[in-house]
Amino acid sequence: MAGLVGKVGKFLASPQGRRLAEQVQRAAKDPATRRRITDAVSQLRSKQRPR
């Protein structure tokens, strides 16, 4: 797994990775995106079976 983490870190340090990280940060700040994520998480939680 350390190889995968290293590759991800190397990608995020590249110009393309920095652009992608900025896009993700902007999307996370958007209220509509947050609402969609919150709705999706609540749907997944409601579908889980109690143990």
Q: What CA–CA distance (Å, rounded) separates 39 from 27?
A: 16
Q: How many residues does the chain have?
A: 51
Q: What CA–CA distance (Å, rounded) separates 31 from 7?
A: 31
Check residue 48 and give its pLDDT: 75
- Taking only the tens place, the pLDDT of each residue in 1-51 is 679 999 999 999 999 999 999 999 999 899 999 999 999 999 999 987 666
Check residue 49 and give its pLDDT: 63
Check residue 47 and give its pLDDT: 82
Rounded to two decimals, the pTM is 0.58
User: Percentage helix, strand, coil, to 5, in the chain?
Assistant: 85, 0, 15
Establish how many alpha carbons lie within 13 A of residue 3's alpha carbon, considering only the half-sphere containing its beta carbon. Answer: 0
